[in-house]
Structure 1
């Protein structure tokens, strides 16, 4: 197993269990404990973990706003599964606004067979990766937020307010039964709120690990969401609340 693949599996385990032990990882990957310690040291420098005696734990101070390059490697199977489900809701000729989340990036990858789509986004990654495709892509412009490879600020907000679209595609950092949909940073959250106001329908992409999690900034009430697409069946309390607010759940 390559070192990068081993670290990726370690990241997935840490997000699942919140902590890992050097001895356990050493046995799992059949490498020395010193190799695992070097892996954890690298992950600590990237802000993903805090090393502890005998292992490491999820860095709670940075978990809600990890760099895009890190987020884009976490739970990829879940994200692809959610993206394919979202594709079923998109028609030829649709106009879309798309946020800079890694799940939304996976969604845009699925659009190759659709025609005459217009996509407005503040994602630097989407602008770069899909420049040479049949998508009609409009950049919001704005100030670069390097950590998330996104464009934010007054210019991006003014651009978004010029357009009325069929659908906004977005993700989030946390979902709470009483606090609604939350995100990790205010500049991106404000722009997403502008996107929501310009769209006829809102599709929220959120894997099961986002449920019952609190993030820093309130994004939107659950009642404003039209579709919630996830990778596993939500719990009964969630299904009841979403039904109450007429949110269609796809899992």
Structure 2
């Protein structure tokens, strides 16, 4: 196993378990504890985790605004599972508003064979990755947030207000029964709010680590979402709570 593959699996494990142990990882990957410590040191330098005695814990803050590159390394298996589950919710001929999330990007890769799909997005990464696809792509324009490769601000919002979509695909940083759907920065949250307003149906793609979390700024209420697609059943009667708000849960 290559070092980059091993570190990716460490990221996935610590995202799920919130902590990891050097001895356990050494046995899991059949490498020396010194190799594991070097892996943890590298991941700590990327602010993914904080090393502690005998292991490491997840580095996670309410207002943490992760870069696109860093987000793309977190829980990649969960994102692929969500993309597989969500693809049946998109139909040929749909016009789709899509945010700059890595989970939504994973879903679009599964839709490349669909017919007459129009994508309206504020993601420059998405526009680049699918420039040679059969999708009709409309970019919002706006002010670039290089950290997330997202276009935001008045220009992006004005462009979105000129369109109506069948479906909006968004992700989030936190899901809480009291505080709703939350995001790490105001600019991208504002763009998502307009996308929700301009779309007939709202799909939220969020891995299980987002549940019972509250990030910096509120994007919408849970009841504003039609369907939440996640990678495994959330705990503590989340399903019943969402059903009461007429939100479908897919996992």
Normalising by structure 2, we get a TM-score of 0.94
Task: Decide whether aligned partners of structure 1 residues 23 and 233 sit closer, same or farther in structure 2, where only a CA change above 3 A counts.
Answer: closer
Q: What is the match of residue 153 of structure 1?
A: 153
CA drift at 1:236: 5.8
Residue of structure 1 in register with 2:87 after alignment: 87
TM-superposed CA distance for 1:101, in Å, is 0.7
CA contact under 8 A between 1:47 and 1:66: conserved in structure 2? Answer: no
- Structure 1: segments with no counterpart, 5+ residues: none
Matched, 1:53 2:53: yes
Match of 1:76 in 2: 76
Q: CA deviation at 1:148?
A: 1.2
Does the CA-based 8 Å contact 2:63-2:216 persist in structure 1?
no
Q: Is 97-106 or 176-185 further displaced after alignment?
A: 176-185
Counterpart of 1:96 in 2: which secondary structure?
strand
Question: What's the counterpart of residue 168 of structure 1?
Answer: 168
User: Does the residue aligned with 2:5 lie in a helix, a strand or coil?
Assistant: helix
Q: How many residue pairs end up in the alignment?
A: 251
- How far apart, in 1, do the equivalents of 2:35 and 2:63 lie? 24
Pairing 1:223–2:227 present: no
Give the TM-score normalised by structure 1. Answer: 0.94
For the pair 1:96 / 2:118, whether they are aligned, the reply is no
Contact 1:180 1:220 in 2 (8 A): yes
| 1:185 corresponds to | 185
3-state DSSP class of the match of 1:147? Answer: coil
- In structure 2, the residue corresponding to 1:233 is in which secondary structure? coil
Quote the offset at 1:6 in angstroms: 0.8
**Structure 1 runs of 4+ off > 3 angstroms?**
61-64
- SS of match in other structure, 1:26: helix
Q: Deviations over 1:86-123 (max 9, x none)?
A: 22121211111001111100111111221111101111
Which position in structure 1 is the counterpart of 2:118?
118
Deviation at 1:142, TM superposition (A): 1.5
Partner of 1:43: 43
RMSD: 1.6
Does residue 203 of structure 2 align to residue 194 of structure 1? no
Q: C-alpha separation between the residues in 2 aligned to 1:62 and 1:23?
A: 30
Structure 1 CA distance for aligned equivalents of residues 19 and 59 of structure 2: 9
The gaps in structure 2 that reach 5 residues or longer are none
